[in-house]
């Protein structure tokens, strides 16, 4: 199903002790002098935490920036929906936290499949993120004395999560958005909303710009510059049902992959344990209930599989608080992958609750008795409100019903330590890259990574590329052959989709793809299932190109066409996902292979054979991709089996 | 409720482009489950339209969990429909009855031109923010976060204002299409926090000037905006904006 490259892939990690690596690298990086920055143009695609923070920081430094998003405003990027919080090693609660501990927890939480040096840098700059956000006016929760407040998240035994009610992502994004809009007002950032990136422009192996479709007019536009920054989020919607926004897609990343950027670890998917269960076949998305709820909510199922009683009528003696029972040290606060698998296991064994039996209880009764309803409301009011809106049940009175759902994707475009992809001049930030979370991301770490990349890493490293290549890169006009070729290829793809004129809607085909992915590439995977999934995906791709029906034209606002274009890319990407999951003959973090588990059903890693990042090189649709292995070395945190008992 | 769902008549605004003439069209949709969200009901309608060869109804939506502010429908004359503090995407069909006729329109305001069907252009709100809705702090400049103590009650009030999702329901609900609730939410957040103090006067002056330039109407204190707001933003913020504006005009250097 694939070929293997001979030479190992080099992550270009700097020399020196881990605590000095980032300083050492910064000292080596080329600088662009203040007066020269205004001569250079940087294209930023995506305006979530990573994209907005990068775009505003680059503009503050003096570069000319163009910022692109498919939504009508940069403020709507899906970072806005993150609920629970953002980690930082401030140690404000004086409970023994440190940069080292945040680093250690993140490497261990990622099940030893992340690049150690990146994670250490992430932990080192985490404190500066909080400083920056507070200075912008982000209203983080505070104590009565006026100092910042913290709470605990999964996979940690210290309190290091900063939060703004259950809307932390919203407040952080609005902070980054306000900085971005300040630069728009100052004329340093040109905003390009309602644009979909369709292709990457590469000339002589160096990134030169992008082609995008203006979603309002359908016009194909080429934008060129001296570097391209991709911050386009994750690919969870390959499962159709996920907690991602409906517009989230893999298109920008996949188009870069087709132009030479390696795609790393696509099979690492986070299935979040606390989401509202599916209610019907019209379901269009799933809604997350923040992990922070597990601070006060207790997860349980009835001890007897055929207990038909309402939850409040089931006495304590007949309840199985299975996370507390199995993991006494971390209890309800085990990492997400562990909690999700435990819920699936209970439901598969027949202990699930609710009409579909595909749910477990998350119960706040004890917390409300202990702290009072007002305290619980002040911590989680908006989440309880949202739950009640969707289910018509009052979680102050009856336990929530929850089930795991696809939430985050740890895999993404491969980047080196500088966050530069395998195509020089293309940088990838946030969820769109693969680097910091290994095989499982800990809660409250996505916001941290997005902002670390955008505020404190990329602004340094992009200068190195521009310092080295900037003056030799002559402007490319729209008539340049590589620009022409990219424009034509994007246009012809749109035209081919419209030309199929079959009978099946994009949505119906997307649902079929989601079913294949959930059944065979979801929480539990087998070699046979994955192989079959790859075949079914190939067949479904043929169905798409022979039977899809998209009405309307390419030169107008056409949401159905947008969806079809994204789906076409998901159908190519999904095969790589299945191939990656099939090739990784071990279980680690969010990747669980049934063949590789311990006697008590925990993930069994194979460090001898699979302690590497799998970076895939595109060879053509349906062709065997080439696997490049970047060895993951653990010099600081000894490789060990995760235990949360 | 049994397996049998609701039968509904939908009266939907269709408009092929910003310059085209729009009209209401009627669609019959049967067997709608009460557990569906309003947008899932429109998904079902669109799937049916595609089958029939009619272009699906364009509407803005993204997160579908009430936070991104992208969804924007006028439902039976109410912005985001009948539920309090609820976006269109969080509205569920259990709120409707078998046999209902539901009228669905785009936001209507001079500053929000229609792009297609139910989709409008709200970039005017972004321009109001870019006029002054920020603290001028470059990345890398910030002091330690706990250097600045903020009383909990001030932070809570600032958070109440900062919860605005920028959907534009306040504008759509207002008979004058005023953006005062939106603008005042950002002015209030910054006015309540010490970080916002240095630029306090010029912020309110510039944001109000931009609001006028975009063609939003004046505020006449009817509070329709507060009633329509899915994020529970209070008109107290408008009072605070007015105080800030007056102070800036009378006492600050910028106002002279």
Interface contact flag, A287 B165, Cβ < 8 Å: no
Question: CA A113 to CA A100: how far, in whole Å?
Answer: 18
Percent of chain B with pLDDT over 70: 98
Q: Name the nearest CA neighbour of A88 among A14, A26, A140, A24.
A: A140
User: Is the CB of residue A155 less than 8 Å from the CB of residue A105?
Assistant: yes
Flag whether pLDDT at A551 surpasses 60. Answer: yes
In a domain, A391, yes or no: yes
Tell me: pLDDT of B93 over 70. yes
Whether pLDDT at A441 is above 90? yes
Mean pLDDT score, A417-442: 97
Average pLDDT on A426-437 reads 97
What is the rounded (10 degree) CA torsion for B44, B47, B49, B52? -130
Residues in B touching A142 (Cβ below 8 Å) = 150-152, 155
pLDDT for residue B1 is more than 80: no
Q: How far is CA A12 from CA A19, A62, A415, A438, A612, in A?
A: 16, 27, 10, 18, 15
Give the gyration radius of chain A's Cα atoms. 24
Per-residue confidence (pLDDT) for residue A539, from 0 to 100: 98
Q: Largest Cα–Cα distance of chain B, in whole Å?
A: 68
What total number of domains does chain A contain? 1
Tell me the mean pLDDT in the region A167-194.
98
C-beta of residue A51 within 8 angstroms of C-beta of residue A77: yes
pLDDT at residue A631 tops 80: yes
Structure tokens, A448: 């941290």
Residue A371 lies in a domain: yes
A81, A455, A507 ranked by CB distance to B67: nearest? A81
Residue A432 has pLDDT above 90, yes or no: yes
CA A70 to chain centre: 17
Q: Do the chains contact at A135 and B195, CB–CB below 8 Å?
A: yes
In a domain, A1, yes or no: no
Give all domains of chain B, ordered by start, each with its CATH number: 6-116 (3.10.20.30), 122-251 (1.10.1060.10)
Predicted local confidence at residue A115, as pLDDT: 98
Q: Give domain status of residue A367, yes or no.
A: yes
Whole-number Å distance between alpha carbons of A155 and A158: 9
The mean of the pLDDT values for chain A is 96
B3, pLDDT greater than 60 = no
Dump the DSSP string for A377-390.
HHHHHHHHHHHHHH
Contact check, Cβ <8 Å, B190/A137: yes
pLDDT at A467 over 80: yes
Scanning the structure block, which residue is given the tokens 């067997």? B31
Are B19 and B40 spatial neighbours (Cβ–Cβ below 8 Å)? no
Residues of chain B found within 8 Å of residue A143, distances taken between Cβ atoms: 152
The pLDDT of A207-231, averaged and rounded, is 98
CB B17 within 8 A of CB A557: yes
Q: What was the pLDDT predicted at A517?
A: 98
Residue carrying the six token digits 């060990």: A640
- For chains A and B, count residue pairs whose Cβ atoms are closer than 8 Å: 216
- Residue pair B133/B190 in contact (Cβ under 8 Å)? The answer is yes
**A167 contacts on B by Cβ (under 8 Å):** 67, 163
pLDDT of B2 reads 47
Instruction: Quick: pLDDT tens for A565-587.
Output: 999 999 999 999 999 999 999 99
- A133 in a domain, yes or no? no
- Rounded CA-CA distance A623/B65 in Å is 39
Supply the range of the domain harboring residue A351: 272-407
Give yes or no for residue B256 having a pLDDT over 90. Answer: no
Chain B residues with CB-CB distance to A279 below 8 A: 35
Per residue in B178-221, pLDDT (tens digit) is 999 999 999 999 999 999 999 999 999 999 999 999 999 999 99
Residue A524 is predicted with a pLDDT of: 87
Q: Does A387 reside within a domain?
A: yes
Query: Are the Cβ atoms of B146 and A92 closer than 8 angstroms?
Result: yes
Task: Give residue-wise pLDDT tens across range B110-166.
Answer: 999 999 999 999 999 999 999 999 999 999 999 999 999 999 999 999 999 999 999
A258 assigned to some structural domain: no
pLDDT band at A166 (very low <50, low <70, confident <90, very high): confident
- Residue A342 in any domain: the answer is yes
Summarize pLDDT for A471-509 with one digit per residue, the tens: 898 889 999 999 999 999 999 999 999 999 999 999 999
Nearest to A136 among B58, B63, B137 (CB): B137
Of A76, A147, A174, the CB nearest to B62: A76
* Minimum Cα–Cα distance from B207: chain A residue: A185
Name every chain A residue with its beta carbon within 8 A of the beta carbon of B44.
Answer: 282
Residue of B123, B131, B135 lying closest to A136 (CB–CB): B135
Q: Across the interface, do B51 and A505 touch by the CB < 8 Å criterion?
A: yes
pLDDT in tens, B60-79: 999 999 999 999 999 999 99
Sheet harboring A195-203: ordered strands across? A195-203, A206-214, A220-224
- pTM for the full model? 0.97
* CATH number, domain with residue A392: 3.90.700.10
From B63, B137, B196, residue closest to A80, measured CB to CB: B63
A177: which chain B residues are within 8 Å (Cβ-Cβ)? 129
- Provide ipTM, 2 decimals: 0.97
Residue A213: per-residue pLDDT: 98
Per-residue model confidence (pLDDT) at position A279: 86
């Amino acid at each position: 199903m694939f070929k293997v490259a001979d030479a190992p892939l080099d992550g270009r990690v700097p020399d020196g002790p881990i605590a000095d690596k980032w300083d050492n690298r910064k000292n080596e990086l080329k600088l662009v002098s203040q007066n020269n920055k205004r001569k250079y143009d940087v294209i930023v695609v995506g305006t979530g935490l990573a994209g907005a923070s990068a775009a505003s920081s680059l503009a503050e430094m003096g570069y000319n920036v163009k910022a692109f998003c498919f939504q009508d405003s940069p403020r709507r990027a899906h970072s806005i929906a993150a609920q629970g919080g953002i980690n930082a090693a401030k140690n404000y609660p004086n409970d023994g936290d440190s940069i080292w501990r945040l680093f250690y927890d993140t490497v261990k939480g990622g099940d030893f499949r992340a690049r150690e040096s990146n994670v250490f840098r992430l932990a080192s700059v985490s404190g500066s993120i909080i400083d920056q956000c507070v200075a912008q006016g982000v209203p983080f929760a505070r104590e009565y004395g006026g100092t910042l407040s913290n709470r605990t998240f999964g996979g940690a035994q210290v309190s290091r999560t900063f939060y703004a009610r259950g809307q932390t992502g919203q407040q952080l994004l609005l902070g980054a958005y306000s900085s971005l809009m300040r630069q728009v007002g100052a004329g340093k950032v040109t905003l390009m909303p309602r644009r979909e990136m369709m292709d990457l422009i590469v000339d002589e192996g160096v990134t030169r710009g992008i082609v995008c479709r203006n979603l309002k007019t359908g016009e194909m536009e080429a934008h060129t510059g001296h570097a391209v920054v991709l911050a386009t989020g994750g690919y969870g919607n390959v499962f159709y049902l996920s907690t991602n926004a409906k517009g989230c897609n893999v298109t920008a990343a996949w188009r870069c992959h087709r132009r030479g950027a390696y795609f790393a670890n696509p099979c690492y998917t986070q299935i979040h344990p606390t989401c509202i269960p599916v209610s019907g076949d019209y379901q269009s998305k799933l809604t997350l209930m923040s992990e922070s709820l597990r601070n006060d909510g207790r997860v349980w199922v009835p001890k007897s599989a055929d207990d038909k009683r309402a939850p409040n009528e089931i006495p304590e003696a007949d309840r199985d608080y299975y996370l507390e029972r199995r993991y006494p040290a971390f209890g309800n606060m085990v990492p997400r992958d562990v909690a999700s698998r435990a819920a699936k296991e209970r439901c598969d064994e027949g202990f699930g609750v609710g009409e579909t039996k595909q749910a477990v209880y998350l119960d706040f009764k004890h917390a409300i008795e202990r702290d009072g309803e007002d305290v619980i409301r002040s911590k989680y009011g908006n989440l309880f409100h949202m739950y009640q809106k969707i289910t018509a049940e009052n979680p102050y009175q009856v336990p929530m019903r929850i089930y795991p759902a696809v939430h985050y994707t740890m895999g993404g475009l491969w980047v080196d330590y500088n966050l530069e992809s395998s195509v020089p001049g293309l940088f990838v930030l946030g969820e769109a890259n693969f680097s910091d979370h290994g095989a499982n991301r800990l809660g409250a770490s996505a916001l941290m990574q997005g902002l670390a990349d955008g505020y404190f890493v990329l602004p340094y490293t992009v200068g190195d590329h521009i310092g080295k290549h900037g003056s030799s890169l002559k402007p490319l006009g729209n008539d340049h052959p590589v620009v022409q070729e990219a424009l034509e290829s994007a246009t012809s793809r749109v035209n081919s989709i419209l030309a199929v004129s079959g009978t099946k809607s994009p949505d119906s085909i997307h649902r079929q793809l989601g079913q294949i992915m959930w059944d065979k590439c979801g929480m539990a995977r087998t070699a046979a299932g994955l192989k079959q999934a790859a075949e079914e995906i190939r067949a479904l791709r043929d169905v798409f190109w022979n039977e899809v029906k998209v009405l309307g034209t390419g030169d107008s606002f056409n949401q159905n066409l947008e969806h079809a274009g994204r789906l076409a890319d998901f159908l190519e990407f999904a095969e790589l996902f299945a191939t990656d999951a099939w090739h990784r003959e071990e279980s680690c973090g969010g990747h669980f292979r049934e063949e590789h588990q311990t006697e008590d059903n925990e993930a069994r890693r194979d460090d001898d054979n699979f302690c590497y990042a799998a970076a895939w090189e595109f060879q053509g649709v349906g062709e065997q991709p080439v696997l490049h292995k970047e060895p993951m070395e653990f010099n600081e945190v000894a490789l060990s089996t995760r235990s949360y008992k | 409720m049994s397996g049998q769902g609701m039968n509904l008549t939908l009266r939907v605004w269709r408009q092929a482009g910003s310059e085209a003439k729009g009209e209401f069209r009627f669609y019959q949709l049967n067997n709608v489950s009460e557990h569906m969200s309003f947008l899932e009901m429109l998904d079902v309608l669109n799937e049916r339209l595609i089958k029939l060869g009619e272009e699906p109804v364009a509407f803005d939506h993204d997160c579908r969990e009430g936070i991104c502010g992208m969804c924007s429908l006028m439902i039976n004359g109410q912005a985001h429909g009948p539920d309090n503090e609820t976006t269109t995407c969080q509205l569920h069909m259990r709120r409707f009855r078998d046999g209902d006729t539901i009228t669905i329109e785009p936001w209507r305001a001079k500053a929000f031109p229609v792009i297609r069907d139910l989709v409008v252009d709200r970039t005017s709100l972004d321009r109001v923010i870019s006029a002054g809705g920020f603290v001028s702090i470059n990345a890398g400049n910030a002091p330690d976060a706990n250097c600045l103590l903020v009383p909990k009650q001030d932070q809570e009030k600032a958070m109440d204002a900062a919860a605005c999702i920028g959907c534009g329901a306040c504008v759509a609900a207002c008979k004058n299409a005023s953006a005062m609730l939106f603008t005042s939410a950002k002015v209030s957040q910054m006015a309540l926090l010490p970080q916002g103090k240095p630029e306090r006067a010029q912020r309110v002056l510039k944001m109000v000037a931009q609001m006028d330039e975009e063609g939003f109407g004046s505020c006449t204190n009817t509070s329709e905006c507060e009633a329509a707001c899915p994020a529970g933003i209070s008109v107290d913020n408008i009072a605070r904006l007015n105080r800030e504006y007056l102070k800036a005009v009378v006492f600050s250097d910028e106002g002279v």
